Amino acid sequence: MIIKNKLDKAFGPVGSSTGMFMFVGGIVATYYSLIGIILIILGAFVWFTSTSTLLDTDNRKLKFLNNIFGIIPTGKWIDIKSGMKLGLKKSHTGYRTYSRSNRTLDIHINDIRIVLFNDRKKQIMQIAKFNSLDSAKIKLEEYRKLLNLNI
């Protein structure tokens, strides 16, 4: 069974909305010039590119994906070995953007992530993200049983 977990937008919330405006602006600009096609391509890239993980429970493999344009997955499979462990980790991601008038826009995102650790307790990759600790604990136990790993 393959489980897909969506993680983040590659360029954050501000980059994603900027890509949307570039995409729409490119559509309008294409009416006047073919240079607008470049804006459409760049806007689609920034707007739709995201990260996710694939979890193959039958073959005990994990894959971190960068989804280019939201549809082209790129990544490498990692075999799950017996010494690896699963755990929970608080995540705080901050995004800062400056406007033309030097005003800052700060966006902070706090969540809980399920993380895969190697035998030396070094983080290998993030597997899934959750808004609440309770739902993260439930999924952690489910993944522990599916992959036969310790916590």
Q: Is the pLDDT of residue 38 over 80?
A: yes
Report yes or no: 130 and 111 within 8 Å, Cβ to Cβ.
Answer: yes
- Return d(Cα 63, Cα 106) in angstroms, integer: 31
Tell me the per-residue pLDDT of 92-122, one tens digit each, with 9 for 90 and over. 888 888 877 888 888 888 999 999 988 888 8
Strands (E), the chain: 2-9, 50-56, 61-68, 72-74, 77-79, 85-98, 104-117, 123-130
- pLDDT on residue 146: 86
| Percent of the chain clearing pLDDT 70 (strictly above) | 100
Query: What is the DSSP secondary structure assignment for residue 150, as one 8-state letter?
Result: B
Tell me the per-residue pLDDT of 48-82, one tens digit each, with 9 for 90 and over. 999 999 988 888 899 999 999 989 999 899 888 88
| Percent of the chain clearing pLDDT 90 (strictly above) | 39
Q: Residue 110, exposed/middle/buried by CB under 10 A (0-12, 13-18, 19+)?
A: exposed
Report yes or no: 49 and 67 within 8 Å, Cβ to Cβ.
Answer: yes
- Return d(Cα 28, Cα 9) in angstroms, integer: 25
